[in-house]
Amino acid sequence: MDAKFWLLQVFNGISYGALLFLLGSGLSLIFGVMRIVNLAHGSYFLLGSYVGLTVIWTTGSWLLAIPVAALAIAVVGLLVERVFLRAVGSDPLRQVLLTFGFALLFQQAALDIWGGNNLEINPPAMLTRSVVVAGLHLPVYRIFMLALASAIGLALWLGLDRTRAGATVRATVDDAQMARGVGIDTSRVSMLIFALGALLAGLGGVIGGAFLGVYPGLDFDILPLAFAVVIIGGMGSLGGAAIGAVVVGLVDNFGKVLFPQISYFTLYAPLVLLLAAKPTGLFGRE
Amino acid sequence: MLTALALLLAVAVVTPHTTPFLLLLVTRILILAILAMSLDLLLGFTGIASLGHAAFLGLGAYLTAILAVRYEFGLSWDFGLVILFGSLLGAATAAVFGLFALRASGVYFLMITLALSQCVWGLAYRWDALTGGDNGLNLPGRPVLGPIQLGNDAAYFYVVFAFFAVSLLALYVLVESPFGKSLVGIREHEVRMRILGYNTWLHKYIAFIISGAFGGLAGVLWAQVSGQVSPDNVTLTTSVDALLMVVLGGPGTLLGGVLGAGIVLFLREYLSTLVPWWQYVLGGMYVLTIFYLPDGVLGTLRQRRKAAGAPAVGLAPRPVRSEELRINEGGIE
Amino acid sequence: MKAKSLCGLAVFAVALAALMASRADADELRIGFLMPVTGPLAQIATDSINGFKMYLDDHKGEFHGATVKFIVEDTQAKPATAVLKAEKLIKQDQVQMLVGGVLASTGYALAPVSTREKVIYIASIPASDNLTQRDADKYPYFARTSWSSSQPSHPFGEWACANGIKKVVTIAADYAFGYEVVGGFQRTFEECGGQIVQKMWPPINLADYAPYISTIKPDADSVFILPVGAGALTLPRQLQVAGIIPKMHLIGSGTSFDEFVLPQLGDEVIGAVSPLHYSAALETPANEAFVKEYRTKFGKVPSYFSESNYTTALMFDAVMSQTGGKWPGSKELLDLLVKIEVDAPRGPVSFDDLRNPIQNIYIRKVEKKKIFGYANDELWNTVIKTYPNVSQFWKFDRAESLKQPPYTRDYPPCKYCE
């Protein structure tokens, strides 16, 4: 096990983390702004994959599938937030139940619409090769995921940090009451953030569909990972989500390589300990 | 109160004479009702929502199975000991989990209980020498108590009903006691309780342990009702279903758990024999409950009766109103 | 209020009872079919139901004079639900036999129900070895019409030795089915001089195999895969992207390349070799007719799930032909079942006395070609070798076999892994 081997593991962990960032950043933002525990987040991811597939089947264009799927899921998220979540308020229990109900509905609908076969999204051929960098075989698709997630992460950060709209969002996250006090329409901010979160999840789904496959059950398989990212990184923190995603990706990867026997625990046990020590996550704020 | 008891008595008497399927279904409903009531203690009375309650069910069930299969224990009158051990295991696990989980509250509590129950699931799945892994364990048949074969569905129904009644009674006594009242106080306004000198953490911890004990009890009965256990019993879906049962039936009413268990199981197990789209109904139920019945069925009934000036229905004399069902937000211990 | 509610409850109970009771008709054969109709395995349930029903429809819903009443119940892929539905089927619908189950856990949950209620349970898919081996005597009302997990692996080990495969790395899902398939292969492969140099057990439903692929020992010449769920599609592709295949041979369990997943796989699996008791590309008149009819009716090539359930119906029909359409009783039916020999789409099938099939095992290779007159080039499992009359014990002495421990993660031990 030489340096090349470890470098490869790091690369694998981080690139997996890139996908998790897309998934987790949305969840983190949603929680930060709205204090909502969205148990349907995995469903948005899965629906994004399925919609992406449909776009590819009808138009043959993978490139088109990405924005269309992301936007479609954003719309779904918007509707759910507007019509349902808004009415539920900030009670986490009711959010849990409501979003879980939606997760069940989405799951059955996906099964009825797209059937139960395992499917895969096929990206353009040039992305399915691998390049040899410093003697390491690196799949181009993973590099792509890394690049895309970084770009999106940067855009989000710039948006939050440098724009007026971003300042509005940050104000709402920090102290919603105060924000309302200075005239910010927090309910509009909530709605947009939820749509953004859903968009990111849907985007993650189309990108992830080539990597993880598209199948009934993916929604609940990916959900704990999304929560792991947000728990580690702290809810409401974008930077935290990035770090959380990288940590989860690395821990998951190294856990499987070094301790294959207990791969189910390498993720959850540390989570428990972390939450016990710092219940708001590494970078969370109250 | 009397109505409720009469209804329950009627169920006990009538059920074994209905169809075999209904008997099986009601037996399962009663077992899950015990689980739901234990969760109601946490949720409805103390104001803590746990996403990992299935862990206790699973632990009780696995203990029963392992004792029966690997040690041939619990197949006769020693089944009573298994019930005791199952409850103790549930309580002990809750004691350990509580140390971690109760450092958080609100949504963080949800997360940490979820992670804890996933650890239990992982253990059940991985430790296949003990738990049978994904194949699960098959129990060698229900206990035989002297001349009584619990393999007879009606006989087992009565045993389950007896435990259900005992659990209901015990929990009722608990919530009516000063301890129970302080739990409600904590749910309402924890800071005020602390100012008044109550050790709120200890109260929550004890409530957590008690709910774990009843969860373990439910697990023991559950293992014998289907004759097998598998990691399936410890999934997120089971935990969320338990939450739904409490919220649907009416948090803070204890009996709401029975009603909720009845409705959820009816949808999952009975409706699914009739139509393939039952999952839409279940999902819809989750959504609609939150909207139209925020206090659950019994809770809403109680509101109406109170508004009409009639005496309170159900067991806990103090009704739970939706604004009051505030989960303690934030706060690090 | 009290009297009214009691009354209401009574009326409700009676109505419910009336609604749910069903009268048993003496001239019909009632079969309870347990499948995970909802949930992630729904497609398998659909394929299975379609297979069984196709046979029924072809025979006007009768098995030699006995009208078949076919009741499907949803197990939701949960063993506890499977047990509840099975008991409902037995106690309420009064079925004479239960068929189905998909996962091993369901098979294990239903087998004791059959013993307890003295009702036949035919596992048309669950493949766990021990159901018809070490645990067989616990389940006298249980029979299996599909296969046992290690059954195809045994001849495959010999085939591998004889075809230039020397050092194998296995990547198989971490559960009993994975252990049994790999274990069977390892046993015969190492007996004829092969070496398994590395065994990896990723969790079920894993999609990102990168951590495992990156540790594949470079001196191996073949990779044996057994992914489940999402991994069925992603593992071959990830192996290709990492350059492992086609440099190394790709081999694996029959389920890895079965017609259930084959249409969704890409060219990366061309040349992959696997063993199974069925292939849709089996060029016999019986199979060609079966595949064409199935494809026309349901729009897809039948998988082994479909064939298995179709053949189960075929077998019942064969048994009923011997009783003139009359239900002979549970034990009697089982006795008849294990004595029959049928010509199924998969070829000739008979039973051993532990009620597991004895059948051909085909070594198949994935090829892209046209077959059966279809217009397009598609991926098919071409049969390259047939081992006839393979039982679950292969050539081993049965008593010896049963004394050995069952195949697990660590048995047979990995002698050549350092």
List, in order of start, the domains of chain B with CATH numbers: 2-307 (1.10.3470)
The token duo for B278 is 């039952």
In chain B, which residue's Cα lies nearest the Cα of A80? B287
Nearest CB among A235, A268, A279 relative to B118 is that of A268
- Structure-block tokens of residue C28: 């019909």
What is the C-alpha separation between A285 and A174, in angstroms, rounded? 8
- Taking the C-alpha atoms of residue B254 and residue B246, their distance in angstroms, rounded to an integer, is 8
Distance from C-alpha of B279 to C-alpha of B267, rounded to nearest angstrom: 8
Please tell me which residue, B140 or C207, carries the higher pLDDT value: B140
Question: Does the pLDDT of residue B88 top 90, yes or no?
Answer: yes
pLDDT digits (tens, 9 = 90+) for A110-146: 988 998 888 888 888 888 888 888 777 788 999 999 9
- Asked whether the predicted pLDDT for residue B329 surpasses 70, the reply is no
pLDDT (mean) for B284-295: 82
Which residue ranges of chain C lie beneath pLDDT 70?
A: 1-27, 205
Q: Across the interface, do A111 and C42 touch by the CB < 8 Å criterion?
A: yes
Q: What is the pLDDT of residues C237-250, one digit of tens each?
A: 889 888 898 899 99
Number of residues written out for chain A: 286
Q: Which residues 6+ apart lie within 8 Å of A108 measured at CB? A: B277, B279, B280, B283, C38
**pLDDT for the residue B148:** 85
206-245 of A, contacting C, C-beta below 8 A: 211-213, 215-218, 221
Q: State both tokens at A37.
A: 């525990």
Closest listed residue to residue A29, CA positions, set A199, A147, A203, A162: A199
Interchain pair A104, B290: CB under 8 A: no
Per-residue model confidence as pLDDT tens digits over C343-360: 999 999 999 989 999 999
How many other C-beta atoms are found inside a 10 Å radius of the C-beta of residue C116?
Answer: 15
Who among B103, B284, B326 is closest to A91 (CB)? B326
Distance CA A195, CA A80 (A): 9
Report the distance separating Cα C98 and Cα C83, nearest Å: 11
Is residue B236 a contact partner of residue B115, using CB atoms and an 8 Å limit?
no
Residue C386: exposure state from Cβ atoms within 10 A (0-12, 13-18, ≥19): middle
3-state helix, strand, coil in chain C (%, to 5): 40, 20, 40
pLDDT given for residue C410 in this prediction: 87
pLDDT at residue C16, rounded to an integer: 52
The model's confidence at residue B322, banded by pLDDT at 50, 70 and 90, is: very low
Tokens of B51: 């996403």
Q: How far is the CA of B184 from the CAs of B102, B320, C212, in angstroms?
A: 17, 10, 52
CB contact at 8 A, C126 and C101: yes
State yes or no: pLDDT of B330 exceeds 60. Answer: no
- DSSP assignment letter at B328: P
How high is the pLDDT of residue C170?
A: 96
Provide the 10 A C-beta neighbour count for residue C344: 23
Distances (CA, A) of B244 to B250, B259, C92: 10, 11, 29
Three-state SS for B176?
Answer: helix
pLDDT over 80 at A265, yes or no: no
Binned at pLDDT 50, 70 and 90, residue B234 comes out as: confident
Contact A101, B284 (CB under 8 A): yes
CA angle C337, C338, C342 (to 5 degrees): 70
Q: Which residues contact A64 (CB under 8 A, 6 or more apart)?
A: A55
- The residue length of chain C stands at 418
- CA-nearest residue to B229 within chain C is C80
Question: Which position has the higher pLDDT, A281 or B112?
Answer: B112
| pLDDT tens digits, one per residue of B149-167 | 888 888 999 999 999 999 9
| Strand runs labelled E in chain A | 130-133, 136-139
Could you give the C-alpha distances from C249 to A193, C164, C179, C227, C236, in angstroms and in order? 49, 10, 21, 16, 12
Give the per-residue pLDDT at B111: 78
**Residue range B122-146: mean pLDDT, rounded:** 83
Chain A CB contacts of C229 below 8 Å: 118, 215, 217
What are the φ and ψ backbone dihedral angles of C385, each rounded to 5 degrees?
Answer: -160, 145
pLDDT band of residue A264 (cuts 50, 70, 90) is low
Distance CA C15, CA A145 (A): 59
User: What distance in Å separates residue B79's CA from the closest CA in chain A?
Assistant: 32
Q: Is B266 on the interface with C (CB under 8 A)?
A: no
Eight-class DSSP state of C112: H
Report how far apart the first and last C-alpha atoms of chain A are (Å, whole number): 43
User: How far is the C-alpha of A22 from the C-alpha of C102, rounded, in Å?
Assistant: 35
- Amino acid identity at C244: I
The string over B110-138, giving b where at least 16 C-beta atoms fall within 10 Å of a residue's C-beta and e elsewhere, is bbbbbbbbbbbbbbbbbebeebbbbbbbb
Instruction: Region of C373 please: left (phi>0), alpha (psi -120 to 50) or beta.
Output: left
Does residue A258 carry a pLDDT above 90?
Answer: no
Share of residues in chain B with pLDDT > 90 (%): 32
Residue to mutate among C20, C22, C411, with most B CBs inside 10 A, is C20
User: Residues of A with CB below 8 A from B51's CB?
Assistant: 96
Nearest-Å Rg of the Cα atoms of chain C is 22
User: Distance between CA C132 and CA C120 in Å, rounded?
Assistant: 14
| Number of neighbours of residue C45 by Cβ within 10 angstroms | 24
The strand ranges marked E within C44-123 are: 62-63, 66-74, 97-100, 120-123
Output the DSSP codes for A227-258.
Answer: HHHHHHH-TT-HHHHHHHHHHHHHHHHHHHHH
Q: What is the pLDDT of residue C6?
A: 52
Residue count of chain B: 333
Cβ B287–A101 below 8 Å, yes or no?
A: yes
HEC string of C130-194 equals: HHHCCCHHHCCCEEECCCCCCCCHHHHHHHHHHCCCCEEEEEECCCHHHHHHHHHHHHHHHHCCC
Position B285, amino acid: M
Q: What is the pLDDT of residue A230?
A: 85
Helical (H) or strand (E) element with A126: none
DSSP states of B252-318: T-SHHHHHHHHHHHIIIIIIHHH-TTHHHHHHHHHHHHHHH-TTHHHHHHHHHHHHTTPPPPSS-SS
Residue B327, pLDDT > 50, answer no
The rounded distance, in Å, linking the Cα atoms of C244 and C241 is 8
Q: What residue of C is the nearest CA neighbor of A132?
A: C242
The mean pLDDT value of chain A amounts to 85
Q: What is the pLDDT of residues A92-103, one digit of tens each?
A: 777 878 888 888
- At C411, phi and psi to the nearest 5? -130, 125
What is the reported pLDDT for C18? Answer: 45
Q: Is B19–C92 a contact, with Cβ atoms under 8 angstroms apart?
A: yes
- Which chain C residues are Cβ-neighbours of A128 within 8 angstroms? 237, 241
Which positions ≥6 away from A69 have C-beta within 8 Å? A48, A49, A51, A52, A55, A202, A203, A205, A206
pLDDT higher than threshold 80 for residue A91: no
Task: Give all chains having 3 or more CB-to-CB distances under 8 Å with chain A.
Answer: B, C
CA distances from B268 to B154, B249, C25, C151, C178 (A): 22, 16, 28, 37, 31
For residue A122, which residues of chain C lie inside 8 Å, CB to CB?
266
Residue C97 is predicted with a pLDDT of 93
CA torsion sign for B71, B76, B77, B83 is positive
Q: Is the pTM of this model over 0.95?
A: no
CB nearest to C211's CB, from A118, A215, A253: A253
The pLDDT confidence band at residue B287, using thresholds 50, 70 and 90, is confident
Question: Do residues C60 and C67 lie in contact, with contact meaning Cβ atoms separated by under 8 Å?
Answer: no
- For residue B106 the two structure tokens come to 């609100």
Please count the residue pairs, one from chain A and one from chain B, whose beta carbons lie less than 8 angstroms apart. 134
Examine the pLDDT at A164 and tell me if it is beyond 70. Answer: yes
In contact, C9 and B7? CB cutoff 8 Å: yes
What rounded mean pLDDT belongs to chain B? 84
- The pLDDT of residue A138: 86
